Structure 1
Amino acid sequence: MSTATVLRPATDADISHLVTLNNASVPAVPDTPADDMSELLDASSLALVAIDPAVPTDPLGFVVALEGGEDWAGENYAWFEERGLDHLYVDRIVVGEGARGRGIGQLFYDAVFDAARTAGHDVVTCEVNLNPPNPGSMRFHGRLGFSERGQQLTKGGDILVAKLAADVRDASRRRTPAAA
């Protein structure tokens, strides 16, 4: 019998698992050592892991988001900040390969949009790779109501990303019913 996936706050004890999940998803996300992951969690306003309650210490995936107006040096975050958006920025969302297709990404974004609404933000922002391409992520974000606001070459010109935003007020219509 399978158990439902549960979200819980990420902790320092999760960092090694998060680094493993993250780095298995390169190039969709940047390679991130433990010290940088710890710094990202410290800066975040929302950091959640998805777990199977039967194995609560082994995250299936994670999401990390930052409030607009923070002193964060990430070039993707800075792009949105330069445009003066009132936003909650999703810096990282990763679902482990063996956990994909279980609705975990939707659970994460439900929590992100709830947090953005609670904080009174206008939009949720993120970026998705165009080169190297990440068509699955582009389709997923499109289903959630994200639209492209621009593009940027990052990592010294090696990666082209689409800058995406979704209106927080429309987030409720993107929710899918919970699985029974």
Structure 2
Amino acid sequence: MSIVVRDVREHELDSVLALNNAAGPAILPLDLTRLRAFYESAEYFRVAERDGNLTGFLIGVGHASQHDSSNFSWFRERYSNFFYIDRIVVASRRRGGGVGRAFYADAQSYAELRYSQMACEVFLDGANDPVLLFHGTFGFHEVGQNVMPETGTRAAMLMKDLESYAWINETYGDALPRLPWVRRPRTVAGSASYLEKQTGTAP
């Protein structure tokens, strides 16, 4: 069956937490409080379903976020306009089945309407060559390294230019057309969207 990527639902947070904490050393552990904070603030928090089962999730924020990650801060000190992938997790039994690529395609289709670059990191402690290769085939390149002060973990800092953004921004600015496929930043419990809360404007 096909992969379905959609916004997370509140009742799925326990399942998302279990996926995160079963992912191994390539992903930092979470507790429910931290995950709920993402649910309440992250402008992109989507899950993947395959055969009716939750198979992964991706969380992303824009450069205006108040996100407290040291890796996010590293990017914000050096770049002014980017969409940051905080974490992507795919269930071990589904790795290699296209879920990761479906997530990145969906995240890029969202980000390139609003940001000039995508940013993420890959931990270098451990056997992460397959993860680096995956990102390389998707157009990311290393722009530096960062040692996370909270864990001592070294990460390769990766960026990808979103070439469509310049034309989209020049043509539409902040007034993106209200088309069904131009997905707006997610809302939580009827609140204002993430971008509206951060910048006072709607996309």
Give yes or no for TM over 0.5.
yes
Q: Alignment partner of 2:38: what SS?
A: helix
Q: Is there any run of 5+ residues in structure 2 with no aligned partner, and where?
A: 166-203
Q: Does 2:75 match 1:71?
A: no
Q: Does 2:154 match 1:156?
A: no
Q: Does 2:142 match 1:111?
A: no
Q: Does 2:82 match 1:87?
A: yes
The one-letter code matched in structure 2 to 1:141 is: H
Q: Alignment partner of 2:124: what SS?
A: strand
Counterparts of residues 102-141 of structure 1 (less than 5 Å) = 102-119=97-114, 121-141=115-135
Residues 1:72 and 1:5: Cα distance change in structure 2 (over 3 Å): same
Q: Alignment partner of 1:71: what SS?
A: coil
Q: Indicate the larger mover: 133-142 or 159-168.
A: 133-142
Which residue in 2 is equivalent to 1:29? 27
Which residue in 2 is equivalent to 1:143? 137
Task: Provide the rounded CA distance (Å) in 1 between the counterparts of 2:149 and 2:17.
Answer: 19
TM (normalized to structure 1)? 0.86
Task: Provide the rounded CA distance (Å) in 1 between the counterparts of 2:163 and 2:106.
Answer: 14
Q: Alignment partner of 2:102: what SS?
A: helix
Contact 1:43 1:72 (C-alpha < 8 Å) held by counterparts: no
Which residue in 1 is equivalent to 2:39? 41
Q: Which runs of 4+ in 1 moved over 2 A?
A: 155-158
Task: Provide the rounded CA distance (Å) in 1 between the counterparts of 2:48 and 2:142.
Answer: 27
Contact 2:113 2:164 (C-alpha < 8 Å) held by counterparts: no
Q: Alignment partner of 1:18: what SS?
A: helix
Q: Alignment partner of 1:118: what SS?
A: coil
Task: Provide the rounded CA distance (Å) in 2 between the counterparts of 1:151 and 1:85.
Answer: 18
Task: Provide the rounded CA distance (Å) in 1 between the counterparts of 2:79 and 2:119.
Answer: 12
Task: Provide the rounded CA distance (Å) in 2 between the counterparts of 1:11 and 1:78.
Answer: 28
Q: Alignment partner of 1:61: what SS?
A: strand
Q: Alignment partner of 1:94: what SS?
A: strand
Task: Provide the rounded CA distance (Å) in 1 between the counterparts of 2:113 and 2:24.
Answer: 32
Task: Give the root-mean-square deviation of aligned CA atoms.
Answer: 1.6
Q: Alignment partner of 1:35: what SS?
A: helix
Looking at CA atoms only, which structure, 1 or 2, has the larger radius of gyration? 2
Contact 1:132 1:160 (C-alpha < 8 Å) held by counterparts: no
Number of residue-to-residue matches in the alignment: 165
Identity %: 28
Task: Provide the rounded CA distance (Å) in 2 between the counterparts of 1:49 and 1:72.
Answer: 20
The one-letter code matched in structure 1 to 2:40 is: D
State the 1:25 CA deviation: 1.1
Q: Alignment partner of 1:40: what SS?
A: helix
Q: Alignment partner of 1:149: what SS?
A: strand
Contact 1:29 1:92 (C-alpha < 8 Å) held by counterparts: yes
State the 1:138 CA deviation: 0.4
The one-letter code matched in structure 1 to 2:4 is: V
